[in-house]
Structure 1
Amino acid sequence: MEKGPAHIEMETLLTAAFAPTHLAVINDSAKHHGHSGDDGSGESHFTVEIESAAFAGVSRLMRQRMVNKALGDIPGTRVHALAIKARAPGE
């Protein structure tokens, strides 16, 4: 599947904010076709897997807040659902 504009923007923003040692932005939208939040754009549901030293010693909740802040208005505005798996190296 080709990456759409929201997908590319999320990768760019997360790379700039966290200099991750691992980053996977996974488009799960096809699994939710026809469900609530599917706007037909093909970019409604994502999973972010990110590993960065920025998350060392930070709680799971704070990590999610950090990722959401870095993504600005994308979650909740342009993307209906975002699952976040954030970890520090070695976790």
Structure 2
Amino acid sequence: MDRKVKIAILRKYESYCYQICSYLIQREPLASRAAEAALLNAAGDVFFFTDTDETRRKKILQTSIRTSLLWVSQSSGSEVTDQSVIS
């Protein structure tokens, strides 16, 4: 699949992803970084771009929740790095 198409698909879920992260984290800088990490995780899913819209939304929801919880748990003890949450 073309890179531009993949980017367009990810952008379609950017707001949704950020809304979830923002609601869960309640701190703007961390919410933005968590949303970015969640979208990168979604981009790494080989099936994400061929999934239906409904399945993509479910995957974004799941990865946003998981990533947000990781950011919150790691930020309470120390500074969070992008690489520690992405994996």
* TM-score under structure 2 length normalisation: 0.37
* TM-score under structure 1 length normalisation: 0.36
